[in-house]
Amino acid sequence: MTQSRIDEIADGVAAVRRRIDAARREAGRVDTVDLVVVTKTFPASDGALREGVGIRDVAENRDQEARGKRDEIRARGQGDDAVTWHMIGQVQRKKAASVVHWADVVESVDRPELVAALGRAAVGADRRIEVLVQVALDPVPRPDRGGVAPAGAVDLAAAVVAEPMLELRGVMGVAPFPGDPDEAFARLAEVSRAFQARWPAAGTVSAGMSGDLEQARRHGATQVRVGGAILGARAAVQ
C-alpha cells in the first residue's frame, strides 16, 4: 500500500470518528462506539489498513472474496491476528464451514437453520465464533435483505446461546431504504433491551452506515459499519 493511500484512509477514519464523537455529544452519551470498516470490493491491501490508522475491525459480505483476502494477508505475514473480521452479508447454510474459516464475528444470523450450521462448523473448526442476530427493520419483509422479525429475535438468540462454540454478542440491523432510520433503529433498540434483560453480555448494537450513523448513535448503536466514507468509491478487487 502506498503512503498516499494510507494517508487517504487515515483522513477518512479521522473524519468518521469526528462524526461519531459529534453524534455522541448530541445524544448525551458517554459510551464508546466501535468502528468497523467495510472492505468489500477493495483489495486485500486495504484489508491490512490497520497499520498506521488504528483500525481493529473489518467487514466483508461475500464469503469467497473475504476468505481469499484473509488467506492472502496471512500469507504476507501482515499481522492478521491484530484485526477482527466480520461477516455482514447473508450466509447460506452450505457456506457455514467456509465462513467459520475466516470470520471472527458473523453479524447476519437470521434463522435457526443457519445457527445450527454455524454451530456445527465452529465445533468442527474448533473456533469460537461471535454472533449478532440480524433483525429485519423493513416495514414490509424483504427476504433479499435478510433478518429475523423482531418478534422472533429472542427465540433465535436462545438458539445461539445453546450452541457451545457460538457466543451471542447482540443485534445487527440495516435501516430500510427508503424509510425512516430513526424509527427503524428505535425498534432495534427495543430488541437489544430484550436481549440484555436475559443475556447482559449481549449488548452490542451494530447499526448505522455512512449515511445514517448519527441516527443509529442516537438510538444506542455501539458499533457502526462504514465503507465508502473511509475507503472512497468502490473499487474492483485485484
* CATH number of the domain to which 97 belongs: 3.20.20.10
237 within domain boundaries: no
Q: How far apart are CA 120 and CA 127, in angstroms?
A: 11
State how many domains the chain has.
1
C-alpha triplet 139, 106, 46: angle, nearest 5°: 105
Please compute, for residue 67, the number of CA atoms within 13 A of its CA located in the half-sphere on the CB side.
Answer: 10
Handedness of CA 140, 90, 224, 238 (dihedral sign): negative
The domain of 167 spans 3-231
Q: What is the pLDDT of residues 217-237, one digit of tens each?
A: 999 999 999 988 888 765 544
| Other CB atoms within 10 Å distance of the CB of residue 201 | 11
Q: How far apart are CA 238 and CA 192, in angstroms?
A: 38
183 or 1: which leads in pLDDT = 183
Closest CA to 172 of 102, 115, 222: 222
Please name the residue that has the C-alpha cell 478487487: 237
DSSP character at residue 178: S
236 within domain boundaries: no
238 within domain boundaries: no
125 within domain boundaries: yes
Q: What is the pLDDT of residues 155-198, one digit of tens each?
A: 999 999 999 999 999 999 999 888 899 999 999 999 999 999 99
Q: What is the pLDDT of residue 237?
A: 42
Please name the residue that has the C-alpha cell 436481549: 195
43 within domain boundaries: yes
Closest CA to 106 of 186, 28, 21, 170: 170
- Which pTM value belongs to this model? 0.91
